[in-house]
Amino acid sequence: MVDLDDLLIYRRLDASGMLDHLHQFPEQCRLVWEKVLKFGLPPEYSPVDKVVILGMGGSAIGGDMVRRLALAESKMPVWVHRDYGLPPFVDSNTLVIASSYSGNTEETLSAFTASLKTPAKKLAITAGGKLKQLADKEGIPVFSIDYQAPPRAAFPHSFVPLVGIFQKLGLLGDKSADLKQALQILNKLAGDLVETTPLVANPAKQLATKLRGSLVVIYGGEVLSEVARRWKNQLNENSKAWAFFELFPELNHNAVVGYEFPPEIKDRVFVVLPHSALFSPRSQLHYEATAKLLAESGISHEVVEAVGETALAQVMSLVLFGDYVSFYLAMLNETDPTPLAAVDFVKRYLARFNPADG
């Protein structure tokens, strides 16, 4: 079995340098926040009554999380669109934000191209590609990403700009103090989780060791709902592992009934429950009842407590924690976390067909 305290394994298995991006996570968040505060939005972008965020995979997760934050502070609906085309409700009072790290994501380009035929306000977040070319051609503002990384490792560049943009639009309050607290927590957490911190004192290494060989299910609720999605995605992409996510309170109306069959699966499932002290009393009870059901059913599980006094700090700290867990699980699986052979296969397969055909 791989020894996570043997630093040589990281040189051998992490050939593409995913660990470097984890090291840079806190600093990238700081730099992007400073950059977005200087980013100017056209004055006519303020009077909108809904926001549609276009994206897929690692470029879309920032939209999910800012949507969840906005739910607590704004009456304005926010829709995250992971598909081709465009929702029919997009109109002149809509702000469409296309988020694609590469700028070449097929589904996002389809939706953004469709938006050009509407009177909606538009904005792009990208490192380049066709999305930037289209936006520049149409005179559409672009928040440029200047960090080289796989899209999922560029999370600070897909999430933090949206927090700043939503703040400028009045959909979120001033998050400067919240982000300052988040950065303090991230810097401390990074020291706790870094590869040089031994297993006995490293909670990410400990949890990854427990997850090895299991089908992982993440149970999330309220502001941590999208954290559950992020953990699932990272375990899939970095660890090359089966993982799924379920959301409270819905999972208590169906998922908990499925613990019985097939009985042999119980020994191969591990449930992770990201938890926040900010949850409402009813959500707290949902977590307690579910933990009891898991224990009674003999299903391995663990509650992971969010750190910080604000929702923003808790979300960001749990994202970093989950990223490290998925990285260490990749090491235990003896696989390079960066390459995505299956995703690349699908892209090559789709490229054989004219987009108009599908």
Domains of the chain, start order: 18-174 (3.40.50.10490), 199-332 (3.40.50.10490)
Residue 286 annotated among the catalytic residues of the structure: no
> From the candidates 253, 260, 264, 296, which is the catalytic residue?
253
Backbone angles phi, psi at 63, to 5 degrees: -65, -40
Q: Report pLDDT for 89.
A: 97
pLDDT tens profile 69-116:
999 999 999 999 999 999 999 999 999 999 999 999 999 999 999 999
- Name the burial class of residue 278, with classes exposed (0-12), middle (13-18) and buried (19+) by CB atoms within 10 angstroms of its CB: middle
> From the candidates 23, 180, 188, 347, which is the catalytic residue?
347
Residue 237 annotated among the catalytic residues of the structure: yes
Residue 266 annotated among the catalytic residues of the structure: no
Q: Report pLDDT for 272.
A: 98
Q: Report pLDDT for 355.
A: 67
Task: Name the pairing type of β-strands 215-220 and 142-144.
Answer: unpaired
Structure-token match 């400067």, residue found: 176
d(CA 309, CA 314): 7
Q: Report pLDDT for 47.
A: 84
| Residues in the chain, pLDDT under 50 | 356-358
- CA end-to-end distance (rounded Å), the chain: 45
- Name the burial class of residue 267, with classes exposed (0-12), middle (13-18) and buried (19+) by CB atoms within 10 angstroms of its CB: exposed
pTM here is 0.97
> From the candidates 226, 237, 275, 286, which is the catalytic residue?
237
In degrees, rounded to 5, the angle at the alpha carbon of residue 48 between the alpha carbons of residues 43 and 54 is 105
CB distance 16 to 336 below 8 Å = yes
